Amino acid sequence: MSDAPAISVRGLTKRYGDKVVVDGLDLDVARGQIHGFLGPNGSGKTTTIRMLCGLLVPDGGTGTCLGRDIRTQAWEIKQRVGYMTQRFSLYEDLTIAENLDFVARLYGLDGRRRRVARALERLGLTSRVGQLAGTLSGGWKQRLALAACVLHEPELLLLDEPTAGVDPKARREFWDEIHLLAEGGMTVLVSTHYMDEAERCHRIAYLAYGKLLAVGSVAEVIATSGLFTWHVSGPERRIASLAHELASRAGCEMVAPFGATLHVSGPDEAALEAAIAPYRDEPGLSWTKDEPSLEDAFIHLMTGTPG
Ligand SMILES: Nc1ncnc2c1ncn2[C@@H]1O[C@H](COP(=O)(O)OP(=O)(O)OP(=O)(O)O)[C@@H](O)[C@H]1O
């Protein structure tokens, strides 16, 4: 396997009319990595994914995907990439095996039986081969969609919100499968809105309004945010009123209740401590300084970006 990055793009730009939806994006994804792609709705994740696999031509920028030029070698890229779109559809009145066989025929793949058997085994679907796709739960449907995407043994998987609306257990299992595929050498770029999924990636990139705001490991992205956070817990009614009081104090940029605990954050450590100082010795309240969560960091990064 080559050491060259699976994805390497510079200044990637896409406009629709006057609107710049991807704005000068630089991104490197190493081979064999699971790279998360996060950002609010409409931030340009799908558009970027479609430019990377040659489905959309960028208006600006250059780069390679699997060593091929994204502008001039789209056909070669498409053959080596598995792309699971947000609305991946399967034939509900066909069984799991029939769906996979159909996809293999559609793409004219050689060794169909072997490929279908391998995909079934890889994704733990062997025991359900005869089940109609329409009778599968959301999690199993997504797993079948993933099996269809790996039938041609791609080097890179582009997964666009593959687990939206799927329950936590099925999401966790789906991610176990993604990790197994990566262990086997596949590179994965996966967009998600779920923080727990972001934390299962080797690296993440955070996009807002078409601009890349942060990239790195989860710890690096949290550090990039430059945010400081305190947690305070206490009686529920007091926590509810405290949330209102703190929200109006300078230095508290974000105040978010999590049950009977508040996450209180701000980018200026001294200003934040001054804001909470009057409450620090209040009986019944328990304060701890903590790392900001990834969600705190993302919301802060987005708040500082003009839309
Ligand atoms: N074909 C198109 N024509 C015009 N505007 C488009 C087109 N495709 C996407 N857009 C706009 O580009 C912006 C980025 O959309 P995109 O789907 O890439 O965002 P996203 O980050 O994937 O969002 P989500 O998380 O909701 O899937 C949005 O404002 C969207 O409305």
Band (pLDDT 50/70/90 cuts) for residue 307 is: low
pLDDT > 60? residue 109: yes
Ligand 1 near 44 CB (within 6 A): yes
Nearest atom, ligand 1, residue 43 CA = 21
Q: What is the pLDDT of residue 303?
A: 79
Which one has a higher pLDDT value, 305 or 50?
50
pLDDT > 80? residue 54: yes
pLDDT > 60? residue 1: no
**What DSSP string describes 196-252?**
HHHTTSSEEEEEETTEEEEEE-HHHHHHHHT-EEEEEE--HHHHHHHHHHHHTSTT-
Ligand 1 near 192 CB (within 6 A): no
Alpha helices in the chain (DSSP H): 45-52, 74-80, 96-106, 112-122, 138-150, 168-183, 195-198, 218-225, 236-247, 269-276, 294-303
Residue closest via CA to ligand 1's atom 1 equals 16
Query: Separation of 249 CA from ligand 1 center, angstroms?
Result: 36
Q: Right CATH number for 228-291 from 3.40.250.10, 3.30.70.940, 1.10.10.10, 3.40.50.720?
A: 3.30.70.940
pLDDT > 60? residue 305: no
Q: In what order do the strands lie in the sheet with 81-84?
A: 81-84, 156-160, 187-191, 34-38, 203-208, 211-216
CA distances from 196 to 61, 65, 290, 295 (A): 32, 27, 18, 10
Which of 12, 14, 47 maximizes ligand 1 atoms within 8 Å of its Cβ, making it the mutation to test the pocket?
A: 47
Q: How many CB atoms lie within 10 A of CB 128?
A: 18
Per-residue 3-state assignment (H helix, E strand, C coil) for 264-277? EEECCHHHHHHHHH
Query: Token pair of 265, please?
Result: 């954050």
pLDDT > 80? residue 306: no
Query: Separation of 76 CA from ligand 1 center, angstroms?
Result: 25
Note whether 59 and 47 are within 8 A (CB).
no
Which of 18, 38, 43, 83 maximizes ligand 1 atoms within 8 Å of its Cβ, making it the mutation to test the pocket?
A: 43
Q: What is the pLDDT of residue 107?
A: 87
What pTM did the predictor assign?
A: 0.91
Average pLDDT value over all residues in the chain: 93
Nearest atom, ligand 1, residue 210 CA = 14
Residues of the chain with CATH 3.40.50.300: 7-222
Q: In the chain, what percentage of residues exceed pLDDT 70?
A: 98
Name the class of domain 7-222. alpha beta
**Rounded distance between C-alpha atoms, residue 294 and residue 265, angstroms:** 12
Query: Separation of 24 CA from ligand 1 center, angstroms?
Result: 16
**Rounded distance between C-alpha atoms, residue 176 and residue 106, angstroms:** 28
Residue closest via CA to ligand 1's atom 5 equals 16
Band (pLDDT 50/70/90 cuts) for residue 123 is: confident
pLDDT > 80? residue 88: no
Query: Separation of 201 CA from ligand 1 center, angstroms?
Result: 23
Instruction: Write the pLDDT tens digit of every residue in 203-221.
Output: 999 999 999 999 999 999 9
Query: Separation of 252 CA from ligand 1 center, angstroms?
Result: 32
Max CA-CA distance within the chain? 72
Note whether 114 and 172 are within 8 A (CB).
no
Ligand 1 near 127 CB (within 6 A): no
Residues of the chain with CATH 3.30.70.940: 228-291
**Rounded distance between C-alpha atoms, residue 71 and residue 235, angstroms:** 59
- The stretch 277-291 carries a mean pLDDT of 96
Ligand 1 near 72 CB (within 6 A): no
Nearest atom, ligand 1, residue 207 CA = 21
Report which of 74, 84, 98, 110 is spatially closest to residue 186, judged by C-alpha positions: 84
